[in-house]
Structure 1
Amino acid sequence: MSDRKAWFESALKNKYIKKFDYTKFENVERIAGGGFGTVYRANSLNSRKHVALKCLHEHEDDELFYEKFVKELTNILAVNYHDNIIKFYGISLDPSTETYYLVLQYAKDGNLRTYLRNNFGRLDWKIKIQMAKDITDGLHCIHEENIVHRDLVGGMLAYSDPGYLRNPFGYKRNKASDIYSLGVLLWEISSGRPPNLEITKIIKNGEREVFIKGTPEDYIIIYSNAWKDNPNQRPTITNIFDSLENIKLENIYNGLNDNQEAYINNQSQASMDAFSKDSVSQASMDEFSKDSVSFSSSFTTSNGRKVTEVSQVSIENIKANMEITGIDDSSICENNSNISNIS
């Protein structure tokens, strides 16, 4: 028996981790899938509420499976105290298939995209800033635990670090990669819609989504710094949260100006330099094409954050949840990004 498997079974035996009776779940329904696991919604007969069940994909290598499973648990437990991160309840085993499931909090009120689509017209900037702060606060918790989320939006390439898009097989995503994704999420809060730029325009031409009229200029500065092409020039998660805390809403952006043109030109040159140096291979572009198709229907941001490669978050009135997957990108909520407890 591998050390990881022994650790896991010992934790269950000694009740360090709660074990749920799988027969006490009913109406199990698949809601999301990712590279490392599949998420289901189920009714818990014990708690009389919905929970999320996440099963991790098995590997032929038993030791590798338990290594990843234990890593997932470790990341979840590291941030399980935070109000803005989806809660981990325990483990359950389906005796008929011998499949282990993580039992997690279920975010019931839909994802960020759905929420913005249904409510954007009546959101003022105080609410939008609070949403941005909640997401940022969740990611801050994750980064403080030295966890890299890597996929805040569940496989959506438009939110991915351009460095990774240019070289997905050699680029190691880090905290700065999460910051880039957060920048795109913050822009989405200002626009009410997901990004739709072609990937090649992002990585080759350095283009970014256009600034939205009516957005506070301070807010534009925050997300523009976050999605800079050079990861070394992006702010830390603490910098972003502090900026949101001290944001001024008086100066409003009303259209393209010299500053935006200069920014676009600078980004374009930086991206062209990086593109020339890295040169995207045809194999990489083929991989992008496949991912674009397979993930296009599953948006996953969150008014929340992911930990270690996970995601989930929440707020007072707008609770955003991110899952903590440290190894994968599928969310606990439908489409990986949820807002719950909307009053």
Structure 2
Amino acid sequence: MPVKKQNANYFKAPVFAVAPMLDWTDRHCRYLLRLLSKRALLYTEMVVADAAIHGKRDRLLGFAPSEHPVALQLGGSDAAKLSEAARIGADWGYDEINLNVGCPSDRVQSGTFGACLMRTPDVVAAGVAAMKAVVDIPVTVKCRIGVDDQDPEQALDMLAKAALAAGADALWVHARKAWLQGLSPRENRDIPPLDYDRVYRLKQNYPDVFIGINGGVQTLDQAEAHLAHVDGVMLGRAAYHDMALMADVDARVYGEPATSIDWIAIRDAMMAYAEAHLAQGGKLGNITRHMIGLFSGIDGARRFRQILSSDAVKPGAGPEVIARAFAAVGVGSELAAAG
């Protein structure tokens, strides 16, 4: 079980975060992201409170110590279950517990949590208060600006007021409504119009509260523009599909000295990580599927993706597949030839 790293400046602006993404931001993805940025805040996939309580915790909650700072996102609406799941997450060493009030999927709605909680700020407040009562790490909320026919001015204000009164340490706001009927989760990421100004106004109303923004942010230029108005910016698919973007985060957002990417070191780290994962009975594809976006737009990137997609799933595939893929973009071709 990882040992938690205390961080007194955890929510000291600015903060750059990678969003919780179902089936994407698992422990293998986060390990890779951390090789590219030492400072970015990483979020898990959403873990349903019942699963955290009753499921296989090593699979659901395990992570490498190098992933810090890392936050556990929980899904649920039952305050008692959220409290227990938060306690478990804190015991596992997470730096933050985040409550999902933004996911619009049918499965999440059937459990009466996610974005539909925008309609019941009192339920959100009860969950936040219950979690705050049992953990000494930050408890945060990730929400939308509203759902369906709600007025975003009123809906977001009511949600924020309730969550903050219950003790929430920060709010991450996806600057779109969610339409619970008529749009798929994928469509809900793109079709409802973005309203960044609504999130900026929330920050103006709560100058002493950490407010982060999410939704439609594609580049670090855009991220820096948002940070002129809010405390944090969260990227999702843009950071996943073009992971090299992450290598500039520490310098551009946190003011660290600019450095070039040491692709040899990243290759070697991922090969060693894969070898350990295989020794524990895992599959190479569990890891390499997250590496597809490493060389977006670079000569040889197509061949890089082909090798990872096809060779990694073959029987007996090992870390040498990673070496061959990196060689396709000119990184360490001598090692690939030797393998």
- TM exceeds 0.5? no
TM-score, normalisation: structure 1: 0.28
TM (norm. structure 2) is 0.29
Greater helix share, 1 or 2? 2
